[in-house]
Structures are given as structure tokens and as C-alpha cells.
Amino acid sequence: MKKLFTLITAILLCLNLSAQDVFNDEQVVISPDVIHLYWHGCSPHGDVISISNLTSEDLVINRFYAEHFNVECLYEGQNIAEVGAIVGIGETILLDFYASPTAKDLFGTLYIDTDFGMYIIGLYYESVYSLEEQHDTFNLAPNPANGFVTIKGMGIGQVSIFNMLGQKIDDFFVEGEEATISTAHYPNGIYVAKIANGETRRFVVAH
């Protein structure tokens, strides 16, 4: 009887572990994490979003929306930004994504509202024309940076530092034409410095 009880306990334990493994493997995979958009006159440059449903149920996408951007998510020629879509079990869909800014802000977050939860992708917008016309207004060095980065330029004023999810992580005022910013506490990654007139520069932190 003792051996039978031990056997039953072992079988139940194996079944429980197996169920846990299946549960842990269920996931929704969305890429990329950040979309870098270039703006050419009136035409935005888009990107492709991949959504994989690795769960045991159909994935219902309710809608897409973004801070500071009008968005279009095209699937098989239809814009599903507002009407949503369904991704079947084990399926992967590719969306042609386009966004146009609604304000001067160059950063935002794309929200993907699903019945499995909310997923986010960082949006970064860059005007090709403004970069070409205003390239010498200010600069950052060294790039990549380790412990610090120096900003130089005329009339810099207020400086804000954003990560690639559009989150402001630092804010300070530059008096004069040069200032040194400590990056020792920044995690490795890509950042954007935005000065008072709205111009931006990207830089990398690599410790």
C-alpha cells in the first residue's frame, strides 16, 4: 500500500510539473521593442511589427493607439488600428506599421491592447530635413559614452534626456555653450538629448 501511495504521488507530481511547464511556455511575442521612424516631407517611413501567438487560445487584438502619433496598422490591406484582429493559436502575423506625429514631441509609446494584456513599443521620430538643416546647432561627445557625455552648442538652454521608450530620465539647464552630463548611472543603451528648440541628438551609453 505504501508503494502504491508513493507511485500515485509521483505520477501526480509529474502531471503537475508538466502542466506548469505548458503554462510557463504560453506567451505572446511582439517585436520590435522600439520603432525608429524617419519623416520625409509628407511621407512617414513605417516598419513591420511581428505578433506571434504561442498561447493555447486565440489572441484577440482590440486596437492599437499611441501617444503623440496617429497610427496605421495594416494587415492584409486593412487598417486594424481601431477594429483590431485575431491571431490564431500558433500563428504569427506581420503588420505594416505607419505613424505620423500629432505634436512636436519626437517620442511616444505604441499601445497594443489585447485580451492577454497591454503590450508597448517605443516610438522615436526623426525628421530627415531638420537633421540636415540644423546638424551643427549642437553636438555630443564622446559617442559611445561611458561615464559622461559633453554637450556643446549655442543657445542650448533646457536639456532633456530620453530613453528609447520615450521616457524622460534626466532634465537640466545649460548655461553657456558647454556642459558635461554624467552617464554613470544610465543603463547601457541608446538615448536622445533634446534641447530647448526641439532639436535632438542620439547617443549610446556603453559601460
pLDDT in tens, the chain (207 residues): 544 334 333 333 344 433 333 333 469 999 998 888 876 544 556 789 999 999 999 999 999 998 888 888 888 878 888 889 999 999 999 998 888 777 766 788 899 999 999 999 988 877 654 444 444 578 888 888 889 999 998 888 999 998 876 788 999 999 888 999 999 999 887 788 888 887 888 888 887
Is 66 within 8 Å of 119 (Cβ atoms)?
no
Structural domains of the chain in order of their starting residue, each with its CATH number: 28-128 (2.60.40.10), 137-205 (2.60.40.3080)
pTM of the complete model beyond 0.85: no
The pLDDT of residue 61 is 94
The pLDDT of residue 3 is 44
